[in-house]
Amino acid sequence: MVEHERRDRFMIAPERRAFVARNFPGTTVREWNDWRWQARHRLRSLADLERVFVLSDDERGAVLAQRGGLPVGITPYYAALMGRDDAREPLRRTHIPVSAEQVRGPGEYVDPLGEDPAMVVPGLVHRYPDRALFLVTKFCATYCRYCTRARLVGAQGEATFSTSQWQNALAYLEAHPEVRDVLVSGGDPLTIADDKLDWLLTRLRRIKHVEFVRLGTKVPMVLPMRITRDLVRMLKRHNPLWLSLHITHPHELTPEANEALARLADAGLPLGSQTVLLAGINDDPDTLRTLMHGLLVRRVKPYYLLQCDPIVGSGHFRTPIDTGLALIDSLRGHTTGYAVPHYILDCPGGGGKVSLVPDHVVGRDGDDLVLRNFEGDLYRYRDPGGSLGRDRALPPNLAAPRSSSRPGKRG
């Protein structure tokens, strides 16, 4: 084994070794740890899935019924994290189609965020004045069934946008000095070869008015061996470069993912997470808290908890907004503030992000704003001249003369 392979080597957890022996006999450690081997051996067909999983009738029927649309794609590594026999296992539910995917519910759209009308050149979405979204590839290591860009990713044989398309997008950015922030996404930009990605980031960095570049990726969770030391060295050259990591469930926080995240964090790359809220997958307080705590100790700031966008056939993934608010309430005040993400809804049709926040304002009593804290206790806060809460009738007992065992406390 040559030196750089030794340095790049990831550990293989014992469960993964058993998985390899059962499903990919004869595969060497070197092959398993080669991200290109993983990409080549993704599970793409019914036969591939049946080799690894005991499929339910519903899953089998859904895969057979697929005609175009978002393909199936799961790296062997990620498949090894999923339940073999249990169709309800969380990660498996995010990647193996079920029949509910074929049901188009009211308010669901092919392009829910209205990105296509704002695509100024192929692959470049410019809707907000100072920010642009640069879709650099249609290829993902794995295909999430709730993907907002299901219309795009995996399409046309998983084509990468061509270099000439990249050039057109770069020319547009150069000609628009109002753009100071570029989110490089796709598809997954970390599935692009190092030299091509380096070229792209170098070109972006050369644009004087682009002061902030982010990469959106799920690769550290589904293909951690892609985070080679060469890749990290290259990314580090483009610092400050922020990474938005798509992370779904604590089961993704494996020793292999830990190593990938540590390499990125050690390189000084700021890491933030984006988690899509998914019914029956991560929509309970224990799972979400475990995930957020797990991210913090791995030096990833929990950033967004995203309401699942209304793409066609995603109704089975969506929770009521009340659920998301209750989850934020279960975190705020009950754990470290850094562990509490912003709960975000992206308005359909291109209205942009709206932050959804549990309401702790009870009402107003003259100059006193009455608030409910995380334990359900009421507090008064002097807010002379304010109007917040004026439209809410206070319960009669709260209008009584003030007395409190703690400053400001009521009730």
Residue numbers annotated as active site? 127-128, 131, 140, 144, 147, 149, 309, 346, 353
Query: Residues 6 or more apart from 321 whose CB is under 8 A from it?
Result: 307, 345, 356
Among 218, 298, 316, 318, binds ligand SF4 (CB under 6 A): 218
Residue among 140 and 369 whose Cβ is closer to ligand SF4: 140
Q: Which stretch binds ligand SF4 (CB under 6 A): 139-147, 171-179, 297-305, 365-373?
A: 139-147
Give CA–CA dist 131/209, Å, rounded.
11
Q: How many residues bind ligand SF4 (CB under 6 A)?
A: 11
Report the residue number, 147 or 173, with the smaller CB distance to ligand SF4.
Answer: 147
Write out the binding residues for ligand SF4, residues 34-73 only, by CB under 6 A.
none
Whether 4 contacts 229, CB under 8 Å: yes
Rg (CA), the chain: 24
Distance CA 351, CA 333 (A): 30
CB of 211 to ligand SF4, least distance (A): 25
Nearest distance, CB of residue 72 and ligand SF4, angstroms:
11
Displacement of CA 374 from its chain's centroid (Å): 27
Task: Say if CB 163 and CB 200 are below 8 A apart.
Answer: no
> Toward ligand SF4, which CB reaches closer, 92 or 218?
218
Q: Which CB atom, from 34 or from 309, has the smaller least distance to ligand SF4?
A: 309
Between the CA of residue 172 and those of 178, 202, 204, 215, what are the distances in Å?
11, 16, 11, 19
Long-range contacts of 296-299 (CB under 8 A, 24+ apart): 296/336, 296/338, 296/339, 298/253, 298/258, 298/261, 298/262, 298/265, 299/261, 299/262, 299/265, 299/271
Query: Cβ of residue 217: shortest distance to ligand SF4, in angstroms?
Result: 8
Stretch that binds ligand SF4, among 85-93, 99-107, 140-148, 319-327 (CB under 6 A): 140-148
355 and 344 Cβ atoms separated by less than 8 Å: yes
One of 16, 41, 246, 364 touching ligand SF4 (CB under 6 A): 246
| Least Å from the CB of residue 206 to ligand SF4 | 26
Least separation in angstroms between residue 221's CB and ligand SF4 is: 9
Mask 174-193, x = binds ligand SF4 (CB under 6 A)?
Answer: ------------xxx-----
223 binds ligand SF4 (CB under 6 A): no
Tokens coding 178: 């109002």
Nearer to ligand SF4 among residue 72 and residue 204 (C-beta): 72
Burial class from Cβ neighbours inside 10 Å (0-12, 13-18, 19+) for residue 127 reads middle
Cα angle 55-285-358, degrees, rounded to a multiple of 5: 125
Binding mask 353-392 for ligand SF4 (x = CB under 6 A): ----------------------------------------
Up-side HSE of residue 174: CA atoms within 13 Å toward CB?
Answer: 11
Segment 142 to 171, residues that bind ligand SF4, using CB under 6 A: 143-144, 147, 149, 153
The nearer residue to ligand SF4, 309 or 329, going by C-beta atoms, is 309
Contact predicate 257/220, CB 8 Å: yes
Q: Site residues for ligand SF4, window 252-291 (CB under 6 A)?
A: none
Kindly indicate which of the ranges 141-149, 156-164, 253-261, 335-343 contains the residues binding ligand SF4, using the contact rule CB under 6 A: 141-149
Q: Which is nearer to ligand SF4, 216 or 363 (CB)?
A: 216
User: Angle CA(228)–CA(231)–CA(235) in degrees, nearest 5?
Assistant: 140
Asked whether the bond before 320 is cis by omega within 30 degrees of 0, the reply is no
Q: Which helix (H) or strand (E) segment is 296 a member of?
A: helix 285-297
Residue with Cβ nearer ligand SF4 (246 or 410)? 246
| Shortest CB 113 distance to ligand SF4, Å | 12
Q: Which of 63, 140, 207, 245 binds ligand SF4 (CB under 6 A)?
A: 140
Judged by the rule CB under 6 A, the positions of this chain that interact with ligand SF4 are 140, 143-144, 147, 149, 153, 186-188, 218, 246
